[in-house]
Structure 1
Amino acid sequence: MTQTPLNSQPYDQLTASADDISDKNITDLFHRIIDSFKRAPQSENVPIDMNQQKERANLINNIEKDETGLHRTLKNRHLQMITIGGAIGTGLFISSGTALATGGPGALVLDFIIIGFMLFNVCMALGELCVVFPVSGSFIAYGSRFLDPAWGFAMGWNYALHKLIVIPLELTAAGIVINYWTTSINIGVWITIFLVFLLIINLFGVRGYGEIEFYMSIIKVIAVIGFIILGIVLVFGGGPNHQYIGGKYWIHPGPFANGFKGVCSVFVTAAFAFGGTEMVGLVAAETDNPLKTIPRATKQVFWRITIFYVVSLALIGCLVPYTSPRLLSGSSSYDASASPFVIAIEDAGFKVLPSIFNAVILCAVLSVGNSNVYGASRTLCALAENGQAPKVLAYIDRKGRPLSAVALSIIIGLLAYINCANVGTQLFQWLLALSGLSSFFTWGSICACHIMFRSAWKAQGHTLDELVFVAPLGIVGSYFGLLLNILCLIAQFYIAVSPIHGSVTARSFFEAYLAVPIVIISYIVWKIWKKTPFMRPSTIDLETGRRMLNVQQLIDEEKAERRSWPIWKKMFYECC
C-alpha cells in the first residue's frame, strides 16, 4: 500500500490541521497566563535550610527565585540605570524651583551636597547589608532584625504609605505636565491612561519594571547631561540671546534667601529629590547576581550626586534668579511651567527646546510613578511576610509578582481622581503629611541597622575579611549618616514651629511634622501589643537569608578577571 505524501493531502485537511494547531496554541497560551497568576508553589516560600545553603555556596548567585518566590531576573544593566537615573524625577526637575525661591542658589547647592554626602553613607551601608542579606524587603526587614520589630513595623509602614500616596500624586502630575501643551482634555482622561500604563508594566513583573526604568533612566540621564552642557554655554554667553551671565545672580539678588530658615527649609526638598535612591536595596532580592551588581551600583552614588545634582543645580542658580516670580507661579507644585530647567531654557530664547525638556519631565514623572508602585508593592509584601501586614499582601504568583500588593497600589492610585475636585489638593496635603519625612526615617534606620550589624558581626566572632563588600567609611560613615538624618529632622521641626512666612498654626505645624508623632505612636502601640524585644548584638540573627560564600575564592576570581581587562576598563571600574 502506497503512503500518501503530506503535500498531496487535500487543501481543506491541511487547513483544518493548521487551525487545530493554532487553536491548541492559543488555548495553551491562555492556560499558561491563567496559571501564572496562581500562588507560587509552597516549596518556593520556605527558607532554604542553612546546611543546603553551605552545600550550594558555589551556585548561590545562579538561584533564579528568592526564598519568598520573587524572581531574580534583574540584570546588571537594569540595576546600573535604576541606580543612576532612578532618583532623577520631579524633585530635581520641578520641586527644585520652589526650593530655589525659598532658600536661594547657595542653600540649594549646600543642602543637596549635605544630603548627598549623607546618602552616600546610607547607600554604602545598604550595599554592604544587601550583599550579605539580599532578602525580600531589604531595609524593611533589616529594621526588624537589627533594631526592634516594633521599629521595623513603624518605619516600614511609614515608607509604604509614602510610596502609596505618591502614586496618585505622580499620576496627577503627569496630567498637569501635559497641560503645558494643551488644556482642552480633562486631566481625568490622562490619569486613566497613565494608571492603565502603570498596571500593564507591573503585570510584566520585575522584568517589566526593570526594562521601563532602564530606558527612562537613559532619557533622563541624557537630558541632564545635555542641560549641563547647554547651561555652561548659556552662562558664558552662548545661546540665541548671546548674553554673558556668569555668576551675577549669585551676587544679586544673592546666594541665600530667608537666611538660616531658608537653608533649613530646603532639606526636605533635597530629601524628596533624592528619594528612591534606596530602591537599590529593594531590588536586591530580585537581582540575578547581587554579589557583583549591588557594589557596582552603590559606588556610582558619589558621581551621580556630584554631576547630576550639584553641577546642574549650580548652573540653575546662575541662570534663574531666586526672585523670579515664575518659580512660584505654577498652578501646582508639579506644574512644569514652574520648573527652573524649563524657565532657564525659555529665558535663553529657545522655542522648541522647552517642549522637548517638558517631554523629559513627563517621562520622569511616569518613571517615579512606576518606581513607587514597585516600591510600595515590595514593601507591603515584605511587611506581610514579617507578620506586620495582612497575610493576603504576601501573595506571590508563579511569575514572582506580589499580586495583592500591586493591586492595592493601583487601587490607591485611583485617589488621583480626587484631584479633579477642589477639595483634592487639601486632602492630599494631609495624606502627604502622614509620611512627609519618610526618607529621613528610612535613611537613618539603614545607618542604624548597619551599626548594629557590625556590632553583631564582631560580637559573634566574625571579621571584616568575611565580607565581600565593605562600606568605604565603615561604621563611622553610618554614624555620620545617622547624625545628619537626626539634624535634618530637627531642622524641619524648627521650620514647623517657626515658618518662613506668617506665624505658626496647628494646621501648618502638623502638615510639616505629622509624620513624626505617627511613627512614634505606631512604634509604641506595636511595641506594647507584640511585646517586641530590643535587639542585642549577641542575639541578632546573622544566619537567615545570609549568602554563604567562599569570600577569598570570590575575591581571587574577581582579581583574576580584572587583570584581563584593558586599562580603560580598570580605570572606569575604580572610579565608577
Structure 2
Amino acid sequence: MSDPKADYSSSDKEAHAGEIFHGADYGAETELQRRLSTRHVTMIALGSSIGMGLWLGSGTSLASGGPASIFIGYILAGSMVWSVSHSIGEMAVMYPLPSAFVQWTGKFVCPSAAFALGWSYWFNYIITIANELQAVNTVLSFWTDKVPIAAWITIFWMVIIAVNIFGVNVFGEVEVICSSIKFGWIFVVIFSLIVVSAGGAPGTPAQTYPVGFRYWNEEPFINGFKGFLSVMPTCIFAMSGSENAGLVAAETDNPRKAVPRAVGSIWLRLSLFYLLGALMITITVDPENENLFGAGGTNASPFVIAYREAGLPPLAHIMNAVIFVSVLSTGSISGYAGSRTLMGLAHLGMAPKQFKMADATGRPWWGLVLTLVVGGGLAYLNVSNSGVEVFGWFSNLTSLLTLFGWGMICLSHIRMRYAWKLQGRSPSELPWKSWTYPYAAWWGLFWCGLLLIAEFYLAVWPLGYTHDAKERAKGFFANYVSIIAVFIIYLGGRAYYRGPWWVDASTIDLDISRRFYVDGPKKPKKGGVMGVASRTVGFIFN
C-alpha cells in the first residue's frame, strides 16, 4: 500500500499539469478544512437537492404534462441521477477535489470542456440561489401577501449568507437538520396522502370518496409528447444538486468511508422523495386544478393543495413550512457549491488566483462573496415579474446546465477507467469500485445527450406554439440560451488552450491529485438483531 503522504509536492503538480493546462495544479491539497463527517455527507446526499423543484415545481409539471408524464419523468431523471452518483462515487473517493467534476473533466477529457463546465456550473449555482430566493416569496404568500417581495428576498438572502460565512462545520450541521426534517416529513406525506386518496380525509363530499387512480384513467398524458418533454426540465431541476456529494468530499476527512455511504443512500432519496412523492400528488390532485402553481395559482404547491382540499389545514401549514425549510437549504448549498467551483477553476488556472485562497477556518471568501452577491442580486428579477414566469426561466436554464454537467461526469468516469486500463492498472486497485460500471456511466451519458436534443426541439416548437416570429425567438432564447452560452464558452476555451480534442489517456498521471488510503484493522460486526439495528442506525446517522 502506498504511503498516504506519498503525494506530489505543489511544485511537482504545477510542473506536470502545466503540460496540459496553463499553470494548473489540480488542487489536491487546498486551504479548505476537512471538517465534514460521514454523517454530514450522507445527510447532504439524502436531502440537499430537495427544494422548489419537487415541492412546488411538480405543480407546473402536473398541469402541463399530466400524472403519467410526471411519474415517468421522475423515473427517467432518477435513473440518470443514480448513474451519475455512482460515477461520482468512484472518482470522488480517489480524487476529492474542490470543484470535483470540473477538475475531473480537465484531467480526463480536455481543458476546454472543463472551462465550459466550470463557468456554466457556477452560473447554474447562482441561478439556483436566485430561484430559491424568489421561491421564498411564493411559499410565504400562502400565509401573507402584505410583505413586499424585495423584503422577503433581502431577509432570506441574509440567512443564506449567514449559513455560509459561519464555516463549513456550521453549514454541515444546518444541512443535517434540514435534511432530517425533509427526510422525516416525506413518510408523513406518503401515508397521509394514501389515506386522502382512499377517501379517509374529512374534506368536502367531492374529496371524501376514493380518488385512487382516477386522474390517471381520465387523462394520463396532457399535451401528448410535448407535454412529456415540458415535464423533463422540472424533473431535472428538482434533482439537480444531487452531484454535490462529490464537492463535499474535498472537505471530508475520510472520503473512502463517507462517499460510498452517500452513494448508497441515493436509492432511498429517489424512491421516497421523488417517485413516491410524485405518485402521491398524481392520485390526490386534479391536473386541471386552477390553484396549481403554473396553472393559474401563484403560491400553491400540489402537496399543500392536496391537504387543503382534503380538509386537513394543519398538515397544509406544516407542509408549507417544510417547503420553506427546503427552499432555504437548497439556496444555502448552492452558495457553498458555487464558491468551491470557483476555487477549483482557480486551481486549473481558469479563474483569478485569488479564488484559491481560504481563511484559517476554510472559508473561501473570494468565491463566497461573488457567488452569494450575484445569486442574491438575480433574485430581484422577481420583483417586476411573476413567480411562475421567473421559475420557468430559471428552471429551464438550470436543467439544461445540469444535463451538461451530468453528461460530463459520466464521460469523465468513462475516460478515467479507460486511462486506468490503458496504463495497465487493475480495477481492484481502485479504493472504491462501483458495481454499475460501465453500464450506468453510458446510460447516464446517453440520456443527457438525448434530452439536450429533445429540449432543443421543445424550445423551437414549444407548448402553445405561436406563428409570431418575435415571440418564438424570445421563447427559444429564454429556454435554450444556456446551452448556446456553454457552446460559446467551449469555443473560447478551444481558441485559448488549443491542443488535441482529447487528453491523451496514455499520458494522464493517475497519481497526481490522488488521495491514498491505508487500511486499518477492521472492527468486528455485532451479531444478532441488536447488531443489525446498530448498523442500520449507523448507516443513516454516521
TM-score (norm 1): 0.83
Q: 3-state DSSP class of the match of 2:69? A: helix
| Residue pairs, 1:427-466, within 5 angstroms | 436-466=399-429
Please tell me whether the aligned partners of residues 138 and 387 of structure 2 are also in contact (alpha carbons under 8 angstroms): no
Q: Does the 8 Å contact 1:148/1:532 carry over to 2?
A: no
Q: Distance in 1 between matches of 2:126 and 2:383?
A: 19
Deviation of the 1:355 alpha carbon: 1.5
Equivalent residue for 2:210, pick from 244, 257, 269 = 244
Matched position secondary structure for 2:63: helix
Q: What is the identity, as a one-letter code, of the residue corresponding to 1:445?
A: M
Tell me which amino acid in the other structure corresponds to 1:200: A
* Pair member with larger Rg: 1
Distance in 1 of aligned mates of 2:216 and 2:153: 39
2:355 alignment partner, SS class: helix
Paired residue secondary structure (1:338): coil
Per-residue deviation, residues 114-143 of structure 1 (Å, max 9, x unmatched) = 111111111001100001111121111011
Q: Check the 8 A contact 1:149/1:532 in 2, yes or no.
A: no
Output the amino acid matched with 2:210: Y
Structure 2 Cα separation of the partners of residues 422 and 262 of structure 1: 24
Alpha carbons 1:171, 1:195 under 8 Å: kept = yes
**Would the aligned equivalents of 1:456 and 1:538 in 2 still touch at CA under 8 Å?**
yes
Cα distance change on mapping 1:384 and 1:528 into 2, 3 Å: same
Residue 358 (structure 2) aligns with: 396
- Residues 122 and 443 of structure 1 are in contact (CA less than 8 Å); yes or no, is this contact kept in structure 2? yes
Q: Which deviates the most, 436-445 or 122-131?
A: 436-445
Counterpart position of 1:537: 505
User: Structure 1 residues 329 and 128, CA, compared in 2 at 3 Å: closer, same or farther?
Assistant: closer
Q: 1:405 to 1:449 in 2, by over 3 A?
A: same
Matches within 5 A, 1:290-369: 290-328=255-293, 335=298, 337-369=299-331
Q: Is the 8 A contact 1:78 1:211 kept in 2?
A: yes
Deviation at 1:354?
1.2
Larger RCO of the pair (alpha carbons < 8 Å, separation 6+): 2
- 1:396 offset after TM fit, Å? 1.1
Note if contact 1:436-1:515 (Cα within 8 Å) is conserved in structure 2. Answer: no
The reply on whether 1:257 has 2:225 as its aligned counterpart is: no
Task: Tell me which moved more, 65-74 or 120-129.
Answer: 65-74
Provide closer, same or farther for how the CA distance between residues 186 and 427 of structure 1 changes in structure 2, counting only shifts above 3 A.
closer
Q: 1:453 to 1:329 in 2, by over 3 A?
A: closer
User: Equivalents in 2 of 1:575, 1:396: separation in Å?
Assistant: 31
Identity of aligned residues (%): 38
The CA deviation at 1:467 is 1.4
Distance of 1:225 and 1:430 partners within structure 2? 32
With over 3 angstroms needed to count, the CA separation of the structure-2 counterparts of 1:290 and 1:509, relative to structure 1, is same
Cross-structure match for 1:113? 75
Within the candidate set 72, 83, 100, 2:62 is matched to 100
Partner residue of 1:473 out of 436, 454, 464: 436
CA shift in 2, pair 1:547/1:562, >3 Å = farther
Pick from 442, 460, 480 the counterpart of residue 497 of structure 1. 460
Q: Report if aligned partners of 1:96, 1:269 keep a CA contact under 8 Å in 2.
A: yes
Using a 3 Å threshold, how does the CA distance of structure 1 residues 390 and 532 change in structure 2: closer, same or farther? farther
CA distance in 1, matches of 2:35, 2:499: 35
Which residue, 369, 372, 375 being the options, matches 2:337?
A: 375
Where do 5+ consecutive residues of structure 1 fail to align? 1-44, 51-64
SS in 2 for 1:510: helix
Q: Answer yes or no: is the 8 Å Cα contact 1:275–1:439 preserved in 2.
A: yes
Q: CA deviation at 1:244?
A: 1.5
Pair 1:574–1:174, CA change in 2 (3 A) = closer
Change (3 A) 1:67 1:48: farther
2:16 equivalent in structure 1: none
Return closer, same or farther for 1:572/1:77 CA change in 2, 3 Å cut-off: closer
**RMSD, matched Cα:** 2.6
2:95 is aligned to: 133
Per the alignment, residue 175 of structure 1 pairs with 137
Match in the other structure for 2:242:
277
- Select 2:489's aligned residue among 522, 533, 536: 522
Deviation of the 1:219 alpha carbon: 1.1
Deviation at 1:320, TM superposition (A): 0.7
The residue number in structure 2 matching 1:414 is 377
Is the alpha carbon distance of 1:433 and 1:238 closer, same or farther for their aligned partners in structure 2, counting shifts above 3 Å?
closer
1:425 positional shift: 8.8
Query: Per-residue CA shift, 1:160-182, capped at 9, x if unaligned?
Result: 00111221232222123212111
Is contact 1:66-1:286 (8 Å) kept? no
CA contact (8 A) 1:130 1:294 kept: yes
| Partner Cα separation in structure 2 for residue 157 and residue 340 of structure 1 | 34
Do the aligned partners of 1:66 and 1:72 also contact (CA within 8 Å) in 2? no
| CA deviation after TM superposition for structure 1 residue 530, in Å | 2.1
Matched, 1:509 2:476: yes
Structure 2 gaps of 5+ residues are 1-7, 14-26
Q: 1:157 aligns with which of 119, 122, 126?
A: 119
In the alignment, the residues of structure 1 paired with residue 536 and residue 79 of structure 2 have an alpha-carbon distance, to the nearest angstrom, of 23
CA deviation map 1:366-411 (0-9, x unaligned): 1111011111111111111211112222221111111011011221
Aligned residues: 510
From the superposition, tell whether residues 117 and 329 of structure 1 become closer, same or farther in structure 2 (CA, over 3 Å).
closer
Q: Report the Cα offset of residue 211 of structure 1.
A: 1.0
Map Cα deviations across residues 520-569 of structure 1 (whole Å, 9 max, x no partner). Answer: 1111111112224421221122111212235xx46xx45x5446682345
Measured in 2, the distance between the counterparts of 1:385 and 1:374 equals 17
Q: Using a 3 Å threshold, how does the CA distance of structure 1 residues 434 and 88 change in structure 2: closer, same or farther? A: closer
- Cα distance change of structure 1 residues 200 and 573 upon mapping to structure 2, 3 Å threshold: closer
Q: What is the CA deviation profile of residues 235-290 of structure 1, one whole-angstrom value per residue up to 9, with x for unaligned ones?
A: 222121342221111112x2111111111221111100001100000101001211
Letter in 1 for 2:282: G
Structure 2: distance between partners of 1:279 and 1:473: 20
Please identify, of 394-403 and 418-427, the stretch whose mean Cα deviation from structure 2 is larger. Answer: 418-427
Q: Structure 2: which amino acid aligns with 1:495?
A: L
Contact 2:419/2:508 (<8 A) preserved: yes
Task: Give the equivalent residue in structure 2 for 1:549.
Answer: 517
Q: Structure 1, residues 81-135: CA drift from partner, whole Å, max 9, x if none?
A: 1111112111000001101111111111111111111111110011000011111
Native 8 Å contact 2:199 2:209 kept in 1: yes
Task: State the shift of 1:363 in Å.
Answer: 0.6
Offset, 1:314: 0.9
Relative to the length of structure 2, the TM-score reads: 0.88
Contact 2:289 2:295 in 1 (8 A): no
Measured in 2, the distance between the counterparts of 1:349 and 1:308 equals 24
Query: Can you list the C-alpha shifts for 1:392-450, whole angstroms capped at 9, x where unaligned?
Result: 22221111111011011221113333432359998897677665511101100000000
